[in-house]
């Protein structure tokens, strides 16, 4: 049967359709971009940057945040959310204080760069696994201790060292060729060099260590009191900081005693713990450390804390004298001479 003109026209139409679909849209429609060609090759599409791992508590300009795409830098602002693999860079006068979802706090000095490389926190599964890559600068890490978690690792890695913690307060100064680590109160760190990660050195309260490039860690040494004082003054939390309702900052050290410690909600506090059992006391302020007893404690209104004892752990202090019971804070506590109250917690039973 001879083929009609309609048959040939149909065949030509089909061929043209196939040709159009197989060749770039731009060949036939200059200036028009097919939707499938608008996306970069090998682009991975996500619904968001992922779950927030924390937020900015305080910032002094200029601080830049770079998200995981590494393409844009954003000026940091208070209350902005943070995400895994965010890089924080403090400029010449910049300073930033951030809070992570696990309750930990990081304070970065000027000229510091670090990345929140890994951050897994799931309280329902009792899991925390965090890694911070610190490239250069100086930062303080107040890592929340999660005693009941079955996994609670927190690591900080520099060019020359790695520090592993579960709950500690420490300062790291890093450069491409050297790392200095200073442990503050209630701290236990496992420090190793990048060269020999299996050779671990333990660092405890008010001790320091350095790790040079391609070398093992230096011998551990005690930090002089005046140096501790300088570090703590440098890394004071921001005004109104909510670092922890159960933390304290040591502003001054005299020998082995504590002076001027602010503990509790609303205070600029970040070292040590106060535990109050059967009381509505919110925190404590320890103003002086002289004498052999804990004296002059003001406990919360309507609380019974003033009827109990105060125990300073790891100390030779025996008890307490309660002189006044007004207000909402425990204040003006004098700890015993030569006691190690500065490295432990106060319990009001």
d(CA 193, CA 339): 34
Lowest-pLDDT range, 69-73, 82-86, 214-218?
A: 69-73
- Give the 3-state secondary structure of residue 334: strand
d(CA 136, CA 111): 8
**Which residues neighbour 336 within 8 Å (Cβ) at sequence distance 6 or greater?**
257, 289, 291, 292, 293, 294, 312, 315, 316, 317
What are φ and ψ of residue 118, in 5° steps? -135, 140
Q: Which of the two residues, 337 and 29, has the higher pLDDT score? A: 29
The most confident of the ranges 13-17, 123-127, 297-301 is: 123-127
Q: State residue 24's pLDDT score.
A: 52
Q: What is the distance of C-alpha 227 from the center of its chain?
A: 22
Asked if residue 38 lies in contact with residue 61, where contact means CB atoms within 8 angstroms, the answer is no
Q: State residue 13's pLDDT score.
A: 74
Q: State residue 302's pLDDT score.
A: 40
To the nearest whole percent, how much of the chain has pLDDT over 90? 50
- Per-residue pLDDT reduced to its tens digit, 259-316: 334 444 333 332 344 444 444 444 443 333 333 333 334 344 443 333 234 444 444 4
CB atoms inside a 10 Å sphere around CB 124: 5
* 55, containing H or E segment: strand 52-60
Asked if residue 276 lies in contact with residue 299, where contact means CB atoms within 8 angstroms, the answer is no
d(CA 189, CA 192): 10
Is the dihedral angle over the CA atoms 269, 270, 276, 280 positive or is it negative?
A: positive
Please compute the mean of the pLDDT values over residues 325-343 and round it to a whole number: 36
CB atoms inside a 10 Å sphere around CB 128: 25
Show the tokens assigned to 323. 């002189």
d(CA 48, CA 315): 51
Q: State residue 40's pLDDT score.
A: 78
Single out the residue of 266, 272, 233, 234 nearest to residue 251, CA to CA.
Answer: 233
**Across the chain, how many H-helices and E-strands are there?**
4, 26
């Amino acid at each position: 049967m001879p083929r009609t003109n309609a048959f040939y026209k149909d065949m030509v139409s089909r061929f043209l359709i196939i040709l159009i679909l197989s060749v770039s849209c731009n060949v036939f429609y200059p200036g028009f971009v097919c939707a499938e060609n608008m996306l970069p090759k090998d682009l991975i599409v996500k619904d968001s940057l992922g779950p927030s791992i924390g937020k900015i508590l305080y910032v002094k300009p200029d601080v830049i945040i770079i998200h995981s795409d590494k393409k844009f830098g954003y000026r940091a602002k208070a209350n902005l959310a943070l995400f895994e693999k965010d890089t924080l860079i403090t400029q010449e006068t910049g300073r930033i204080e951030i809070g992570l979802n696990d309750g930990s706090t990081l304070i970065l000095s000027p000229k510091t760069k670090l990345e929140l490389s890994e951050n897994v926190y799931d309280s329902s599964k009792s899991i925390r696994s965090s890694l911070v890559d610190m490239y250069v600068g100086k930062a303080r890490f107040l890592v929340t201790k999660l005693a009941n978690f079955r996994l609670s690792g927190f690591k900080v890695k520099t060019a020359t060292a790695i520090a592993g913690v579960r709950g500690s307060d420490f300062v790291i100064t890093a450069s491409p060729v050297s790392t200095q680590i200073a442990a503050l109160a209630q701290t236990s760190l496992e420090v190793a060099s990048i060269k020999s990660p299996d050779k671990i050195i333990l660092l405890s309260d008010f001790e320091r260590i350095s790790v040079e490039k391609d070398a093992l860690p230096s011998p551990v040494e005690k930090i002089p009191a005046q140096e501790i004082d300088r570090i703590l003054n440098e890394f004071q939390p921001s005004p109104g900081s909510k670092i922890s309702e159960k933390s304290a900052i040591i502003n001054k050290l005299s020998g082995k005693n504590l002076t001027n410690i602010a503990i509790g909600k609303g205070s600029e506090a970040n070292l040590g713990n106060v535990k109050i059992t059967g009381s509505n006391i919110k925190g404590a302020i320890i103003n002086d450390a002289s004498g052999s007893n804990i004296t002059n404690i003001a406990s919360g209104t309507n609380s019974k804390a003033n009827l109990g004892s105060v125990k300073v752990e790891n100390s030779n202090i025996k008890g307490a004298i309660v002189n006044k019971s007004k207000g909402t804070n425990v204040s003006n506590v004098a700890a015993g001479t030569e006691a190690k109250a500065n490295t432990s917690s106060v319990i009001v039973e």
